[in-house]
Amino acid sequence: MLVLGIESSCDETGAALVRDGRYLLSNVVASQTEIHNRYGGVVPEVASRQQLATIIPVLETALEQSGCDWKDIDAIAATYGPGLAGSLLVGLTVGKTLALAHNLPFLGVNHLATNADCEYMEGDPIFPLICLVISGAHSELVLVRGHGQYELLGRTRDDAAGEAFDKVARILGLGYPGGPAIQQAAQHAEEELKQQQKSPLLARNAYRLPRAWLRGTYDFSFSGLKTAMLHLAEGVVENQQSHVSSSGDGKPGSSGPQTTQYRRMGAQAAQRGTINIGLLAASFQEATVEVLAVKTRLAAQEYHVKQVVLAGGVAANISLRTRLEQELRPLNIRLSYPPIEFCTDNAAMIASAAYFHLCRGEQHGLDLDVQPGLSLPFRLKVAK
Ligand code: KG4
């Protein structure tokens, strides 16, 4: 069965042709990151207008690269949530219209479930498994008991992991999207240490940053870490300003104990001349990765799973992958993740996931609407 997949949930426009859920014939992604970089984040109105401008060329290219014709396609699938309403609307409307015009079955796909369902994987998933969904909008630890059977173990109480990467990258002046920018800056910092014959691991704890363990839960929180980074950066700036203006007393800001702690850290580092964006990025990345990896390992142990699956844009992070491997290998737990290009938004995963649903006879009517706030269809937690 040949499925045309369409993805337009945020700032990427994707079209892909996938045969039998696993054989990729073409996968085209037009990214808007350069446009949104200017604003330091995605501007929803701009994103949906750009989706409109790119969807047809992206579809035409995907069809051309696959070497297929409309008559070869057996079904069309498009993301219907979660995401930005205006962006989702473009891909979903185009998908439904093409299905109507070519008299083909249509399926709306829950973008979050594409990885969690594990059907893209070579080899059978080992249920129950733990799936860590980490993207620009989600940080969820999910127990997957079988295809489509999800139990929510924990989620972020404030910022999503990817959102924290994006916001901290903005604070550090590293641009958008923040995840790859922070990863690269951290890698550079580690390379520099290696060249100085020092352990690259020193970069990761160059600045001691807070970790929200929220013990006894599988919830996450990244806003405290993000705020610590902000105060640290403010401390640096204040210190620099106090050097410029002779009237300044050189002391960091004093608006509360926690604020002061990280402001002082920033100011002191600036005074010592040891402030370094790469080391800051590496320390932030380490604080985020440590909490994600340790909590995932604890959940895997508690629920006696034999496999952990990563999903979402942050799953592309090399440090996270490495740390999780280190946590899980001694326990004989397999770690699976999609290739890097399939971690962020793409239509190949949509077409692949759709195939397995279509095989089960599932299909949507053309009245299917976008669901920007769609989540995984969680079941109530059942006894272990
Ligand atoms: O799943 P995704 O493509 O889209 C939505 O959330 O819509 O995830 C995008 C997020 C962004 O926050 C981006 O900064 C983050 O994934 N990301 C990364 C990396 N690559 C992308 N975060 C950390 N490390 C990376 N290498």
The closest-lying atom of ligand 1 relative to the alpha carbon of residue 316 is 26
Q: How far is the CA of 14 from the centre of ligand 1 (A)?
A: 16
Rounded to an integer, what distance in angstroms lies between the CA atom of residue 220 and that of residue 287?
A: 12
Rounded to an integer, what distance in angstroms lies between the CA atom of residue 100 and that of residue 366?
A: 8
Give the phi and the psi of residue 24 in degrees, each rounded to 5.
Answer: -85, 120
Residue 251 has pLDDT above 50, yes or no: no
For atom 23 of ligand 1, the residue with the nearest CA is: 179
Q: What pLDDT score was predicted for residue 216?
A: 96
Residue 185 has pLDDT above 80, yes or no: yes
Contact 137/160 with Cβ under 8 angstroms?
yes
Q: Within 13 Å of residue 187, how many CA atoms lie on the same side as its CB?
A: 9
Mean pLDDT of 43-49: 97
Give the phi and the psi of residue 120 in degrees, each rounded to 5.
Answer: -75, -15
Query: Which two three-digit tokens encode residue 3?
Result: 């499925």
**Residues with Cβ < 8 Å from 189, sequence gap 6 or more?**
203, 206, 276, 278, 279, 281, 282
**DSSP, res 30:** E
Q: How far is the CA of 163 from the centre of ligand 1 (A)?
A: 8
Query: If you search the block for the tokens 């989706």, which residue do you land on?
Result: 51
Q: What is the mean pLDDT of the chain?
A: 91
**Residues with Cβ < 8 Å from 384, sequence gap 6 or more?**
302, 303
Q: What pLDDT score was predicted for residue 253?
A: 42
The best mutation among 114, 135, 286 to test binding of ligand 1, ranked by most ligand atoms within 8 Å of the C-beta, falls on 135
- Which of the residue ranges 120-124, 150-154, 294-298 would you say has the lowest mean pLDDT? 120-124
Q: What pLDDT score was predicted for residue 250?
A: 39
For atom 22 of ligand 1, the residue with the nearest CA is: 179
Q: How far is the CA of 316 from the centre of ligand 1 (A)?
A: 7
pLDDT digits (tens, 9 = 90+) for 362-379: 999 999 999 999 999 898
The best mutation among 314, 346, 375 to test binding of ligand 1, ranked by most ligand atoms within 8 Å of the C-beta, falls on 314
Q: How far is the CA of 328 from the centre of ligand 1 (A)?
A: 23
The best mutation among 13, 112, 165, 337 to test binding of ligand 1, ranked by most ligand atoms within 8 Å of the C-beta, falls on 165
For atom 19 of ligand 1, the residue with the nearest CA is: 179
Q: What is the pLDDT confidence band of residue 262, given thresholds at 50, 70 and 90?
A: confident
Contact 295/141 with Cβ under 8 angstroms?
yes
Q: How far is the CA of 345 from the centre of ligand 1 (A)?
A: 9
Query: If you search the block for the tokens 């402030």, which residue do you land on?
Result: 275
Rounded to an integer, what distance in angstroms lies between the CA atom of residue 218 and that of residue 156?
A: 9
DSSP H helical segments within 8-104, as ranges?
33-37, 44-66, 85-101
Q: What is the pLDDT confidence band of residue 382, given thresholds at 50, 70 and 90?
A: low
Contact 5/18 with Cβ under 8 angstroms?
yes
- Which of the residue ranges 95-104, 120-129, 147-156, 166-175 would you say has the lowest mean pLDDT? 120-129
Q: What pLDDT score was predicted for residue 257?
A: 60
The closest-lying atom of ligand 1 relative to the alpha carbon of residue 163 is 12
Query: Which two three-digit tokens encode residue 82?
Result: 């979660």
Q: Is the peptide bond before 372 cis (omega within 30 degrees of 0)?
A: no
Higher-confidence position of 247 and 156: 156
Q: Is the pTM of this model over 0.85?
A: yes
Q: How far is the CA of 332 from the centre of ligand 1 (A)?
A: 28
The closest-lying atom of ligand 1 relative to the alpha carbon of residue 162 is 12
Q: How far is the CA of 139 from the centre of ligand 1 (A)?
A: 11
- The helix or strand, by DSSP H or E, that contains position 307, with its residue range, turns out to be strand 307-311
Contact 110/374 with Cβ under 8 angstroms?
yes
Mean pLDDT of 311-335: 97
Contact 106/76 with Cβ under 8 angstroms?
yes
User: What are the pocket residues of ligand 1 if the criterion is a CB atom closer than 6 Å to any ligand atom?
Assistant: 10, 135-137, 162, 165-166, 177-180, 183, 312-314, 316-317, 344-345
Mean pLDDT of 317-342: 96
Residue 119 has pLDDT above 90, yes or no: no
Q: How far is the CA of 178 from the centre of ligand 1 (A)?
A: 8
Query: Which two three-digit tokens encode residue 184?
Result: 């690269």
DSSP for 123-149, please give it.
Answer: S---SSEEEEEESSS-EEEEEEEETTE
